[in-house]
Amino acid sequence: MAKQTYSISDLANELDITTRTIRFYEEQGMLSPVRRGQERIYSPKDRVALKLILRGKRIGFSLAECKTLIELYDPKAGNQNQLNIMLQMITERRQHLAQQLLDIQQMQLELDTAEERCLTALKTTLERKTAKAERS
């Protein structure tokens, strides 16, 4: 049975990304297609790596984190090390997002306070102008 391979356009169409995106990940050393002249031939491992990159990006992993996960890909060992590292990354990402959420909530409170002060100052200024106009 022949081993399944993919062209750059096959992967781009399947994953709804541009060929330029695929070439970028190749330039970053995250994909390693075989070359046949100008043609790039991607293996099932490249396809899995690309899917990992895209999934990682969706959940906020950096390219370096995605690269680490790709390097740990080892289906013969059941990907146990890769899965354990990914669980650690997920935990760290959740903690980071929780902190960001707290930071955003704090910023919203500060914006509310600043808005309230501005509105109060504008009201005071308007009342002074109205009182001054009435005295004139």
Decide if 19 is inside a domain: yes
**% of the chain surpassing 70 pLDDT:** 98
3: pLDDT strictly greater than 80 = no
Decide if 59 is inside a domain: yes
The number of domains in the chain is 1
Decide if 90 is inside a domain: no
Confidence class of residue 132 from pLDDT cuts 50, 70 and 90?
A: confident
Q: What is the pLDDT of residue 74?
A: 83
Cα–Cα distance between 39 and 7 in angstroms, integer?
8
Q: What is the pLDDT of residue 134?
A: 85
Q: What CATH number should be reported for the domain holding residue 57?
A: 1.10.1660.10
* Tens-digit pLDDT profile for residues 52-82: 999 999 999 999 999 999 888 888 888 899 9
Residue the block writes with tokens 């004139």: 136
Decide if 15 is inside a domain: yes
Decide if 42 is inside a domain: yes
136: pLDDT strictly greater than 90 = no
Decide if 54 is inside a domain: yes
Confidence class of residue 26 from pLDDT cuts 50, 70 and 90?
A: very high
Q: What is the pLDDT of residue 126?
A: 92
Q: Which of 61, 84, 87, 62 is nearest to 74 (CA)?
A: 84
2: pLDDT strictly greater than 60 = no
Decide if 114 is inside a domain: no
Decide if 87 is inside a domain: no
Q: What is the mean pLDDT of the chain?
A: 93
Q: What is the pTM of this model?
A: 0.72
Q: Which domain holds residue 61?
A: 1-71
Arithmetic mean of pLDDT, 118-131: 93
